[in-house]
Every structure is written in structure tokens, then in C-alpha cells.
Amino acid sequence: MVLISGRNNMSRNVAIFWVLFSASLIFGNLYATVELEGKDRIDGRTRHQLLYVLTGVCAVATLMLVLLPASPRNSRDNKFAQTPDPHLGPLEALATTWNILWKKEILLLMITFIYAGFQQSFGQGIFGSCIGFTRQFGVQAKQLVPLSGLVYGVGDLVGGIGQAALNTVKSKIKCWSVVMVCLGYCCQAAAYIIVYLTIPNNAVFGESTELSVYPSRVWLALLASALLGLGDSCLNTQIFPLLAALQPNYSSQTCALYKFMKVTSN
């Protein structure tokens, strides 16, 4: 994406990609919500059916990725790279990545990378499990797990669409990336407060009948999911253009560092 994008449309392209990526959260969780409707326990047949269907979709997506044509390395529209992205062998690429890791800008961004992993792990994994283990939600608790993932995807989707639509406005606002990252953090901070108040402390470990600080409400849990997704969108759609601007000739290495740190903290 970096190789075929220019300085003026990089943020827009990332936002469009994020919209499509977020749509997968909606459709996948919608399917799971329908499958789990009316069930307070996930039986073996339902579990296997979900596994087979989602694994098949993943296999098709992987095949499509493999069949994608190579990106043009010397596209005239690419305003980021002053020289073509060098062809590096595996060892050279690894050495280059190691050297880039110790640059001051990348070291400072490591804090953001790690937080990106933490918040995504919480929003897409831990929080949904906590909802499913909270008995205050009644028999619909298990069905709320994929529903919260669906709403998380909607928040991600809204964030991506909003940033794509505002692409022409961002040039008029100084420190646009800072504004968007701060907006995302505020959304997630509000979500963390809602989770703290409405989810029992021991719900993260298993089934919980413990009372929370404030009575658990379905709409509050879904609101927290939407805010977490919106914050995730604000954060990720700013990181990729920033990495492209910092190391235009080594976009693969910087993106690999980001994904490595994110997955490690995840």
C-alpha cells in the first residue's frame, strides 16, 4: 500500500483498507451471533461448525493474498520514496530491520505499538469473554459475545469511514495525527471506565455471579465495545502513514516491527 500511495492519499487509502478490514468483524460476528442465538452453552456441533466455516473463509482470503500481483516499486504516484524500495535478501532484510529498530523515532513509537497490542487484545478477546461470563446478563450472555465483537467492528468501520471522508480536511489541521490519536485514546478511556463500573472483577477468570459497581446493562457493554473499536480505528489508521513517512524506503521493515511488537504484546 505504501508503494502505490502518495503523500496526499496515503491516509485515505489506509482508511479505506481499514473499512474493509473492519467489515470482516461485522460479518463474522454476525454469523456467530445467529449460530449462538438462544444457547446458554456452546455445544460441540456449534463449535465445530463455527470453526469449519471461519477456517474456510480464512483459507480463501489467504489464497487471494498469495495471488495478488507484486506492487510496482517505482510507481510515479509514490511520493514517499525518493528511491525504489531496495531488493533485499532475507538476511539483509533482517539486518536492516534490526538497525531500524534502534532509531530514536522507532524506539519512541514502541510505546504506541505495545499499547496497540494491549488494547486490541482487550477489545477483541478479553472483554468479550468477560461479557459471556457475567451472569447478570442472563441467558443471553453467551450470545452477547459475538454481538459485542460485531459492535466493535461497527466502531472500527465508522472510524475508518470518517477518516476517509475527512481526508481533504486533514491538510488544513495542524497535527492531524495527534488529534486523531488523542480522540481514539479518549474513546477508549471512556470504554475502560464503563467496563470497570459494569463488569464484575472476577468475570475475567470464569462464570461470575458477583455484582459490579454499577448494574450490568447490555447497552453499556455494547457502547464500550463501540468505543473500543472507534479508538482502535483512530490509532491504526494513523500509525501506518506515520511509518511510511519516517522510513519511506523501508516500509516493509517498519510495518514488520509494528506488527511484531503489536502481536507480542497482544
Buried-state track 65-100, b at ≥16 Cβ within 10 A, e below 16: eeeeeeeeeeeeebebbeeebeeeeeeebeebbeeb
Residue 227 in domain = yes
**Which pLDDT value is given to residue 188?**
94
Kindly provide the b/e burial profile for residues 125-164, where b requires at least 16 CB atoms within 10 angstroms of the residue's own CB: eebbebbbbbebbeeebbbbbbbbbbbbbbbbbbbbbbbb
Which DSSP symbol is given to 208?
B
Structural domain contains residue 26: yes
Examine residue 36 and state whether it is found in any structural domain, yes or no: yes
Predicted pLDDT at 83: 47
Using one digit for the tens of pLDDT, what is the confidence trace for 69-102? 776 655 545 555 544 455 667 788 788 888 888 9
Q: Tell the burial category of 168 from Cβ atoms under 10 Å away from its Cβ (0-12, 13-18, 19+).
A: exposed
Does 65 map to a domain?
yes
Max CA separation in the chain (angstroms)? 61
Confidence at residue 171, expressed as pLDDT on a 0 to 100 scale: 66
| DSSP character at residue 123 | I
Query: Residue 137 sits in which domain range?
Result: 10-79+89-265
Residue 84 maps to a domain? no
The reported pTM is 0.78
Establish if 168 belongs to a structural domain: yes
Total number of domains constituting the chain: 1
CA angle 130, 195, 231 (to 5 degrees): 105
In a domain, 1, yes or no: no
Q: Under a CB-based contact definition with an 8 Å cutoff, are residues 135 and 209 in contact?
A: yes
Instruction: Give the residue among 136, 133, 24, 2 at the shortest CA–CA distance from 80.
Output: 2
Helix (H, G, I), strand (E, B) or coil at 134: strand
Q: Are 134 and 195 in contact (CB under 8 A)?
A: no
pLDDT at 40: 66
> CB–CB of 203/152 below 8 Å?
no
DSSP per-residue codes, 49-62: HHHHHHHHHHHHHH
Question: Is residue 153 situated within a structural domain?
Answer: yes
Angstrom distance (rounded) from CA 191 to CA 194: 5
Low-confidence ranges of the chain (pLDDT < 70): 2-3, 6-8, 39-40, 71-88, 167, 170-173
